[in-house]
């Protein structure tokens, strides 16, 4: 951390407390204090400062903290909601995550109630923003089963001019026919946006209702083949460093973080046997090179592979 400190909203965003815009609104509303005094916009914090939001959550600023953000992979099941607040009280993916002190888990992208597959969680608001913001155009890959099959003309249309939905046009970066039996047909597709239910709505617009949808990749991270439904796996330092490098982020000075790190019954703890930080053999540094970017491949204590190259991924769900 430099001598003048870091801007308050930047530090809180890195701690996963919200986006910078949200935090600026909190500061303007007097909801944030630094060392007991109400914070002001533009304020900087330095080592030893204690920041508190809404008199509930507090963090202590530490200088020269090189600890990496935590990153979890979760194999979401159908019938789970990606939200902390649900009036219907449905099962939430957040219920299964390890508890944190002074920070929170941020979901990188959402999956709707009836969609399964890869969810990534992190404690870094900056990393979440880099992976989710539309301007970074991070690829999402899905396996989808539909009732019926696409014509060659429809496939060409989706790859070239795209199709117009009520909230604008959508175009797939890749579209592969994976075959099928009977009335059901599998496709694998890649797109660079995360609009609400965009895959389902696109196929429905073509008269092909979706009967199964699964996200198998987000950026350079693949859904590990051995990560069964409802299971968690935490990436090690090598894999986290590779992701930060791929999105163009340096390791930032951070706030103190304390967490319950014991894996639960459905959680695989991969720390301790991960690749060394800075291993260039995992991930890609060229943000324009997603087409050839390998996935992060951490291992758990049992040696479980958590990621595979896309060429080895299968559609047998």
Report pLDDT for 53: 83
Report pLDDT for 297: 32
Structure-model confidence comparison of residues 118 and 20, the more confident one? 118
Average confidence (pLDDT) over 152-163: 93
Average confidence (pLDDT) over 235-264: 68
Instruction: Assess whether the region 6-60 and the region 71-135+220-312 belong to the same CATH fold.
Output: no
Report pLDDT for 59: 78
Report pLDDT for 56: 66
* Fold category of 6-60 in CATH: 3.10.290
Nearest partner of 250 among 259, 260, 240, judged by Cα: 240
Average confidence (pLDDT) over 163-177: 94
Structure-model confidence comparison of residues 54 and 139, the more confident one? 139
Q: Where are the domains of the chain?
A: 6-60, 71-135+220-312, 139-218
Task: Give the CATH number of domain 71-135+220-312; options: 3.40.50.300, 3.30.70.580, 3.40.630.30, 3.40.50.2020.
Answer: 3.30.70.580
DSSP symbols for 267-304: EEE-TTSSPPTT-TTSS-S-TT-GGGPPPP--B-TT--
Report pLDDT for 85: 85
Structure-model confidence comparison of residues 64 and 274, the more confident one? 64
**Average per-residue pLDDT in the chain?**
78
Q: Is the model's pLDDT at 116 over the cut of 50?
A: yes
Average confidence (pLDDT) over 170-192: 93
Q: Is the model's pLDDT at 244 over the cut of 50?
A: yes
Q: Using only C-alpha atoms, what is the Rg of the chain?
A: 21
Query: What class does CATH assign to 139-218?
Result: alpha beta
Average confidence (pLDDT) over 53-67: 67
DSSP symbols for 161-183: T-EEETTEEE--SEEEEEE-STT
Share of the chain above pLDDT 70, in %: 74
Average confidence (pLDDT) over 278-294: 33
Q: What is the pLDDT of residues 258-269, one digit of tens each?
A: 333 333 344 443
Judged on CB neighbours under 10 Å (0-12, 13-18, 19+), 122 is buried
Share of the chain above pLDDT 90, in %: 48
Instruction: List, in order, residues 6 or more apart from 169 with CB less than 8 Å away.
Output: 162, 163
What is the distance between the alpha carbons of residues 68 and 287, in angstroms, rounded to a whole number?
A: 20
Separate counts of helices (H) and strands (E) for the chain: 6, 20
Annotated catalytic residues are 112
């Amino acid at each position: 951390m430099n001598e003048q400190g870091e801007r308050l909203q930047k530090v809180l965003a890195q701690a996963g407390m919200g986006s910078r815009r949200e935090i600026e609104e909190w500061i303007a509303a007097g909801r944030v204090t630094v060392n007991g005094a109400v914070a002001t916009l533009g304020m900087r914090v330095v080592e030893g400062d204690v920041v508190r939001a809404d008199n509930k959550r507090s963090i202590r600023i530490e200088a020269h903290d090189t600890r990496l953000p935590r990153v979890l992979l979760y194999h979401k099941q159908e019938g789970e909601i990606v939200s902390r607040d649900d009036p219907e009280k449905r099962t939430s993916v957040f219920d299964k995550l390890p508890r944190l002190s002074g920070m929170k888990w941020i979901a990188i992208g959402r999956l709707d109630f009836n969609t399964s597959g890869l969810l990534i969680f992190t404690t870094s608001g900056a990393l979440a923003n880099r992976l989710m913001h539309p301007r970074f155009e991070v690829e999402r890959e899905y396996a989808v089963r539909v009732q019926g099959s696409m014509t060659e003309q429809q496939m060409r249309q989706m790859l070239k001019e795209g199709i117009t939905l009520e909230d604008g046009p959508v175009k797939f970066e890749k579209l592969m026919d994976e075959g099928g039996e009977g009335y059901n047909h599998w496709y694998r597709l890649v797109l660079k946006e995360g609009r609400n239910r965009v895959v389902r709505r696109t196929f429905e617009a073509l008269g092909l209702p979706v009967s199964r949808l699964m996200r198998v990749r987000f950026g350079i991270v693949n859904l590990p083949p051995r990560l069964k439904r409802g299971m968690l796996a935490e990436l090690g330092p090598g894999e986290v460093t590779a992701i930060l490098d791929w999105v163009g982020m340096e390791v930032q000075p951070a706030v103190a973080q304390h967490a319950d790190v014991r894996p639960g019954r459905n959680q695989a703890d991969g720390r301790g046997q991960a690749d060394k930080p800075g291993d260039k053999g995992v991930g890609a540094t060229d943000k324009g090179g997603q087409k050839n970017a390998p996935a992060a491949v951490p291992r758990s204590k049992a040696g479980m592979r958590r990621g595979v190259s896309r060429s080895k991924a299968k559609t047998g769900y």
